[in-house]
Amino acid sequence: MPPYFNDACDGTHDPQLRSWVGDASGHADFPIQNLPLGVFRPRGAEPQAGIAIGDHILSIPALLDAGLLEGDALTAGRAAAQGPTLNPLLELGAPCRQALRAAVSRLLAEGSPQRPNLLHLAADCELLLPAHVGDYTDFYAGIHHALNVGRLFRPDNPLLPNYKWVPIGYHGRSSSLRPSGAPVRRPHGQRKLPDEPVPTFGPARHLDFELELGVWIGPGNRLGEPIAIDAAEGSIAGYGLLNDWSARDLQSWEYQPLGPFLAKSFQTTVSPWIITPEALAPFRQPQLPRSTEDPQPLPYLLSDSDQRSGALNVALEVFLLTDAMRQAGLAPQRITASHAESLYWTPAQLVTHHASNGCNLCAGDLLGTGTISSADPTGYGSLLEITRSGRQPLRLASGEERRFLEDGDEVILRARASRVGFVSIGFGACRAVVTPAYNEGGNACHA
């Protein structure tokens, strides 16, 4: 076994560990070293808490019924089984979550008694949102995205003065969050292009995706009490993928002076599995150093430990599958490859700043990091950047072109954490197909 990367690593990360669940070994996303948390609905049954292992889902209620949990793991299992969401489990915090992970790792390990009756085939189940999201906040922490967008609209001043001092964010719409696989309906709204004399109302013409990580909140804070930077990691229950769908033509007309509104609130797609901090322990890395010309974070946002290991070694990809590609039997085409190290602020800094004014975060709240683009054009995290706001169309291997998304297009986000000496883990897919807008009579209409 290689030396553990940090003190948070333990036997659950052992690269020699194998599971009696045959398809878990070598699985692209869910080997036994991952064990993410989620909520699923077996065919003909009610939603329940589960843990992904290979192509299967381990039922937490079934673990309880079999009497296979004890101590803090039992406490965690009972919390997870309280209802159709994981909020009670997330609220418990790290010790119970870690105990559940360790117990499940032992139960699923090769050499332990095989209990296939505890498993469901994932393909036969519906994956749901893992938590009831009371509040959703989207940040703007991807500095290359901020620079790229700024250069498109403010060539002489791409970054506003506050960007390198304060994590920028806006309050999103939690009611329109949907799990991976749910279609996204093209929204209506006011749109006005520069060459149009007056705005019109109708379906968005410039629909876009945004590649982001989601940060799930665990134990929160009381109203009026901030979260210190060194305590912020304890408030993070896990991570996922997030697609912050954006109607760029609506956004450009409405965003001043108060920021995003209807251009963002129509839907946000979230991957269904919570990848826990414990699973990601081997894949922590130092935050990239800032330029000597950049200001250091203010003291409330600065922690030596967070700077040493607060960033994530997670590679990100976006794939596009058009309707024509689907009809021709072609595979989705990768259109971007980015990395989480491009975030200017760490997840802990986002949490700390969010609560710094006394705002109370609650278990199950969701934070988006903002679009994660790399400095290289091959890693731009939105079509707005890839096509330079539609001026340079993306040419696909199928012969098609895209300036922005068309009806029938499917966007698929994927992520993978890796480090030499450890088993890589994935996040599962975050995907959705764009469907036509509706007119007032309830029939499909087109831009």
Three-state DSSP string of the chain? CCCCCCCCCCHHHCCCCCECCHHHCCCCCCCCCCCCEEEEEECCCCCEEEEEECCEEEEHHHHHHCCCCCHHHHHHHHHHCCCCCCHHHHHHCHHHHHHHHHHHHHHHECCCCCCHHHEEEHHHEEEECCCCCCCEEEECCEHHHHHHHHHHHCCCCCCCCCCCCCCCEEECCHHHEEECCCCEECCEEEECCCCCCCCEEEECCCEECCEEEEEEECCCCCCCCCCCHHHHHHHEEEEEEEECCEEHHHHHHHCCCCCCCHHHHCCEEECCCEECCCCCHHHEECCCCCCCCCCCCCHHHCCHHHHHHCEECEEEEEEEECHHHHHCCCCCEEEEEEEHHHECCCHHHHHHHHHCCCCCCCCCCEEECCCCCCCCHHHCCCHHHHCCCCCCCEECCCCCEECCECCCCEEEEEEEECCCCCCCEECCCEEEEEECEECCCCCEECC
Same domain, 242 and 365: yes
Asked whether residue 42 falls in the same domain as residue 106, the answer is: yes
Q: What pLDDT is attached to residue 447? A: 47
pLDDT, tens digit, 9 for 90 and up, residues 307-364: 999 999 999 999 999 999 999 999 999 999 999 999 999 999 999 999 999 999 999 9
Whether the model clears a pTM of 0.85, i.e. scores above it, the answer is yes
Q: Is 145 known to be catalytic?
A: yes
pLDDT per position as a tens digit, 110-154:
999 999 999 999 999 999 999 999 999 999 999 999 999 999 988
Model confidence at 209, pLDDT cuts 50, 70, 90, reads very high
Catalytic residue, from 13, 120, 145, 354: name it. 145
> Domain range for residue 111?
11-128
**414 part of a folded domain:** yes
Residue 5 lies in a domain: no
The answer on 144 and 22 residing in a single domain is: no
Same domain, 176 and 290: yes
Q: What CATH number did the domain enclosing 251 receive? A: 3.90.850.10
Q: What would the pLDDT profile of 399-429 be if each residue is shown by its tens digit?
A: 999 999 999 999 999 999 999 999 999 999 9
Q: Residue 47 maps to which CATH number? A: 2.30.30.230
